[in-house]
Amino acid sequence: MLPTGSSTGSKRALALYGDAAADAPTHFASASGCRLVDVDGDRILDCTMALGSVALGYAEPDAPGVILSSSDIRAVRLYASAGFDLHPQIRATGTVNTARLRTPELPVRDGSSADFDLADAVAVSVRGAARGVDHAMLLAGGPMFVVDAGEQRGYAFLRGGRPSTIVATDEATASALLWRCLAHAAELGLEAEVDHVPGNQQWAVRAAVEAGLAIRPIGPVFWRGCPPPAAYLPSGAYL
């Protein structure tokens, strides 16, 4: 048993894999959830290994999950072979063409910490889990926008000219939030960036193209055990 502590130092290859030059783990031969087998065949129960257990825990065969992958072919091959379904993603960047900005079709207002309960309720219905304290971290990074129109609900957080995440009950709500985010970037004179747009999020692709942004492919997103939500742009940091 490893009763270890948590530290962002586990992001370092040396701390996670034992070799700064490694392109694969050198300490562990296999893992399933929190149970690991090292290269000597020893079986280990890992209590808390911070980001290390996040990476190794993807070996759990039955748990639903999502992975925002890099474009590295080794990562893509690993996640695909672990039973995750691959979905291509794009990134949209550039200066917003203000002449093409749309007025959101639903009322979008500024959000605050008072909207965290609404955000958690939407997150549970859309992505299967609340974000809890992560909402406070997202709000610390920039403004929050909210739609609360009966059954149509959703929220977005921004960081500079980039939506950190958009979560909504339906595509019309998500689109209204994205157009407000693009307008915010234009108001501040910032380059816009809409990141982690899976291929099934055509409402986001259409808005980005209409706003004059350039579209580029990036690493895919992988889903397992659940279908990809229809009105959801994940956060790179908080999914």
Rounded CA gap, 143 and 122, in Å? 18
Other beta carbons within 10 angstroms of residue 145's beta carbon come to: 24
Closest CA to 197 of 87, 115, 113, 95: 87
| Mean pLDDT, residues 115-125 taken together | 96
Q: What are 178-206's pLDDT values in tens digits?
A: 999 999 999 999 999 999 999 999 999 99
Give me the half-sphere count of Cα atoms (radius 13 Å) on the Cβ side of residue 5: 3
The highest-confidence range among 25-29, 42-46, 88-92, 223-227, by mean pLDDT, is: 88-92
- For residue 107, pLDDT over 90 is answered with yes
Q: Average pLDDT of the chain?
A: 84
Percent of the chain with pLDDT over 70: 79
Please tell me which residue, 92 or 51, carries the higher pLDDT value: 92
Residue of higher predicted confidence among 47 and 221: 221
Question: Of residues 53 and 194, which shows the higher confidence score?
Answer: 194
Identify which of 160, 122, 168 has the alpha carbon closest to the alpha carbon of residue 143. 160
The residue count of the chain comes to: 239
Please tell us whether the domain made up of 89-233 is placed in CATH 3.40.640.10: no
Give me the residues paired with residue 237 across strands.
none
Burial of 190 (0-12, 13-18, 19+ CB in 10 A): middle
* Delimiting residues of CATH 3.40.630.90 domain(s) in the chain: 89-233
pTM of the entire structure?
0.77
Instruction: Tell me how far apart the terminal alpha carbons of the chain are, to the nearest angstrom.
Output: 29
And the tokens for 96? 């917003």
Are residues 234 and 221 in contact, defined by beta-carbon separation less than 8 angstroms?
yes
